[in-house]
Amino acid sequence: MNPGMLTFFNENPLLPLRVFITSRVEEHIQSRLNVPAVRLDNLVDHCSDDDIATFLHILFEDGCRRNSVIRAYVRQHGEWPTHSDRRKLIKHIGGSFIFASAVFKFIMTMNTEGNDSRTPMDRLPLALEMNPGLDGLYAQTLARSQHLPYFSDIIPTIALLSEPLSTSAIAELLGVRIYEVVNVLVNLQAIIQVPGTDEIPVTLCHTSLRDFLTTRSRSGDFFAHPSHHVRLFLRSLECKLKYLRQEPGLFVSSGKQIPPVADYAFRYLHDHLNGGQGCFKPSECSSAVHLCREALTLQPGTPEPIEVRAGVFRTRVNQIGFLTDLDKAISLHRVALKLRPSPHPDRSFSLNNLGHALLDRHWLTGTMPDLEEAISIYREALKLRPLLHPLRSDSLDHLGNVLLDRHRRKGSTADLEEAISLLREALGLRPSPHPDRSVSLNGLGAALTVCYGLTGIIADLEEAISLLREAIKLRPSPNPERSYSLDNLGNALVDRHRHTGTLADLEEAIALSREALELRPSPHPYRSYSLNDLGNALLNHHRRTGTLANLEEAIALHCEALEL
């Protein structure tokens, strides 16, 4: 901002109307404008998506009129881009006109050198994966505050929050002072929108900043590790308890003003519990169990704290391996389900939570009644999420995967066919860049690998490998689900090696299985699966090459698996 403008305004106070719009309210601007004669209006909540939509509509309308290829496509297929595609583009663009212009040019620019035959229709889905190219700006800007106290707490928090919070709420959540949050953010206003008051949410200038911070290969030292979800879960629980001690009926009495942090904790505890899976330390699990016990005492007969405590017990099973914790989780989930009889709007959540816990116990013990009950529960949950329900894809995935498990146990072709159908529908509801796309890719890839084992149709196996490769790309380390996709792709490559004899497939399978095993250190409940997968791959390699070391390692791995 030109200082001369402020001087001019001060010297000419009789000008009837002056409007000044700035992209970010920096300190030197705030100090000059924060006077009685000036009315400040925060534009953070004024979303630019409608303006971006108008901008793209005009550009596409003009571009389509000029492009004969697009006109021919529209005559045969109808509107392009479709309303759905436009919505996806607007969401991906994230309010940046500069990025919107770059996306449009990428889609519409025709190749004049003859080495790229893609049409605008081919380019549009690729545009949804475009990186705005701001990584350098992000790294350079973040470095300005990296040395400040609480930087390593505040930035991951902003990246991992399920909903934006104000500076005062962020400070309360982290247990620091408001000025310490502002001190970190004040130099980052090129990439983070810091409002002029403590009560307006802190937001990102572009959604790609969250992608940058949550992708280790891009952010380096600024990476928001999933373990920070554990910190946010525990702090959210502590903040919620603080208010419950003061007012036990806070979350059940209508008309009461719920403080922002308490409201956030009430709605998003499960998000951080799930986000921190695989990262909880035993001491953190114990702390969570203690806090949940107190929450239940303060909220007797309320399903939410019961579900949270059950989730903590399930988490502790993955860390310590005590089956009794899983039994406790199942009992708690049953209690919560009874408190949400049909037609309770949250019944499907309780059904799914109970199904997950039963499935965990089935995987650990092989008990078929648990699997059968999980299937029944997931079917009921799916009925409660009909077409157009925003969480239908979750229920499709859950039911598809348990039917695949039952097929593996009983060999029912009908179960396998239904599983593939359900998983395909789920994948169709999760186009890129849907955050849960990797889940559907992994499930369908595993199902098609099993189908290949029955039918021998190589096309099923090739599709499975392609899907699983995409799933692994979407689950970079330290994603807690990465080991499952590594295992599945390794098994699919072993199958293709058996079909084609390609040694490279077997060697890649060994590398994938090694990585999966490293991600499942003792006492991980599924370590035995990775031990067996790697042992089998090494045994196959020994049979092909005669390498004695592979045979010896395979025997050692299988022996360890037997001990588990």
* 96-136 pLDDT per residue, tens: 777 788 788 888 876 555 566 788 998 888 888 777 778 88
Closest to 191 measured CA to CA, from 261, 143, 128: 143
Examine the pLDDT at 454 and tell me if it is beyond 70: yes
Q: If you write DSSP's letter for every residue of 247-265 in order, what string do you get?
A: -TTTTTSTT----HHHHHH
Instruction: Provide the whole-model pTM.
Output: 0.76
Higher pLDDT, 477 or 348: 348
Q: What is the CATH number of domain 340-468?
A: 1.25.40.10
Burial of 395 (0-12, 13-18, 19+ CB in 10 A): buried
CATH numeric code, 135-224 = 1.10.10
Among the listed ranges 32-46, 119-133, 302-316, 385-399, which one has the minimum average pLDDT value? 32-46
* pLDDT confidence band for 37 (50 / 70 / 90): low
Please say if the pLDDT value at position 499 is more than 90. yes
The predicted-structure confidence for 138-191, as pLDDT tens digits, reads as follows 999 999 899 999 999 999 999 999 999 999 999 999 999 999 999 999 889 888
- The dihedrals phi and psi of 205, each to the nearest 5 degrees, come to -65, -30
Q: Which residue has the higher pLDDT, 416 or 252?
A: 416
Predicted local distance difference test score (pLDDT) of residue 45: 59
CB 248 within 8 A of CB 299: yes
Q: What is the per-residue burial (b if ≥16 Cβ within 10 Å, else e) of 251-272?
A: beeeeeebbbbbbbbbebbbbb
List the domain boundaries for the chain.
3-33, 50-127, 135-224, 340-468, 475-564
Nearest to 171 by CA among 182, 156, 159, 160: 182
Per CATH, is 475-564 categorized as 3.40.50.880?
no
The residue type of 262 is A
pLDDT of 486 over the 90 cut: yes
Exposed, middle or buried by CB within 10 Å (0-12, 13-18, 19+), for 160?
A: buried
Domains 135-224 and 475-564 share a fold: no
Position 526 scores a pLDDT of 86
